[in-house]
Every structure is written in C-alpha cells, then in structure tokens.
Structure 1
Amino acid sequence: MTNEKKLTLAEQNRLRTTEKVIEALETLKKGKDPITIKSVSEKANISRKTIYNRPDLKAMIEETQSLQSDLNSPKKEKRKPKGSSQAEQIRRLREKNKQLVEEKKMILEQNMLLTKDITKLENRLTDLEERLFSQASLKVVNISPKK
C-alpha cells in the first residue's frame, strides 16, 4: 500500500484496472464460457473501450484466448470418430475423384485419336480437291467415232 501512495491517481487506476482484468480472466478460465473482450469487460466491470485503448490488456486477453483454444482443441480431436460419416464421405469423394481423373485421361486419349483422324481426313479432302481441279483443267476429248 505504501507503493500505491507514491503512485499518481492515474497510475493507481491503471493498476486496479489491470488487476480487475487478471481476476476476470482467471474466473473465465475456470468457466466454460468463451473468453472475449466483452465477457472480460463485463466480469471486470470496465468498458470495452478501456480494453481496446490499452494494448497490454488486449494482449493478455488474446493470449488467454489462444491458451484456451489450445486446451480445447484436443477435445475436438477426440470427437472426430463420431464424425465417421464425414470421413466416409471424404473417402467416397476421393474415390469419385480418382474415377473422374481416369475418365478424363480416357477422354483426352480419345480426343487425341479423333484429332489425328480429322487431320488425315482433311489431308485426304485436300488431295481429292487437288485431283478434281487438275482433272477439270484437262480437256477431255471424246475419242469414240461419231455416227
């Protein structure tokens, strides 16, 4: 208390606010409620604006949130076996994906073969057109005797 008398009124208020936030965080850690700036401000009886204006308080809350989420994450992993239907759905989708990839490969191969056939037919058509024009330019003389 002797140290507090040496501090200015603003510094004393700052310390009390910090202590209130620490106590609120300790209380919220024990409970199941999520730790948010709103919940901390309500527990500590201070405004949210105070927390936002004080980076040290905001950092304490964010650190506690991070620790809380780290502690809760293993519980979520234990729940995954209950989501076996989701795992089954993922497995089916992967199989379907493999099947579609194989179908795509087959279609691409067919496309390549059809493209080759089209090229051959186009070349043949060009060749036939050239023959036709060369024949048309020739004058055909009727050799058969006239009656």
Structure 2
Amino acid sequence: MSDQVVKIFTSYAHEDEGLKDEMDKYLKVLKRSGKIDSWNDRELIAGQEWNEGIMNELANANIILLLVSVDFLASDFIWDKELAEAMKRHEAGDAFVVPVILRNCKWTSMPFAKLQALPRNAKPISEYADRDAAFTEVATGIERLVDHILLK
C-alpha cells in the first residue's frame, strides 16, 4: 500500500469528545507527514445524511479506532451500526480495529476484547498520572500500525 494514505475512522461517544479532540492532537504529526487521513462524525456537513455519511467513511477506513468508555458501550448507534460493521470488516481482514481505552468500564466481554488495545496493557487513559504519556503511547501504537499497513 506504499504511496497511499491510511484512512482512520474514529468511533466515539459524544460525551468523550474532549478526549477525542485531545487524542487528535497527538495524531496531528502523522497527519502532517501525509501518512494518515482521519475522520469522525464532526466532519459531516450541513444537509448530509449522517447515517449514510458515517457508514460510508467506516466502509472506507483502513483503521477503525474505538474510543472505549461507559458512554461508548451504552450507545445504541455505536453498538448496532458502527461496532457491528467494524467487527465485520475486521473478521474479513478488510480493516484493523483498535480499541483505545479512555475510561475504566466493563469492556472485557465485548466483541473487540480479543483485539490488542491501547494504551499498553489496556490501562485506561483516565488512570494515567501523566495524560501526555498515555496519548503519546496511543499515537506511537497507531503509527506502528500505519507503518505496517503502508509496507504491505
């Protein structure tokens, strides 16, 4: 996949928007390097059908980030639509699904629990004394995956 841009889709609960925005800052270096193009539902434009827009972006993503929290797990739209499609694409080998554990919650029985999560040891970002260290660890893990995809 060399000379291409890796497309990243971020699935998150709007209650976690502040943490999503913070994570996006750490991915900015990858964006500026031309390696990635990231998308989340805040990029929908006025008049666009949101369900169709979200599902189209999800269908074209190489990496699907799941920003896991209790609000993420409680969202019916995420569960019924985004997570179902993400896991289907993962099982087919069409995309990499990466759980990013934002806040402590009961996620270990979820369909994505079998996947390697970030940060290391699936320690929730909210439990780090130094949040910069947590987000840097996440960005480093995502960069390694991006480089792996680009080498294919």
TM-score band w.r.t. shorter chain: under 0.3
Structure of greater relative contact order (alpha carbons < 8 Å, 6+ residues apart): 2
Q: What TM-score do you get using the length of structure 1 for normalisation?
A: 0.22
Larger Rg: 1
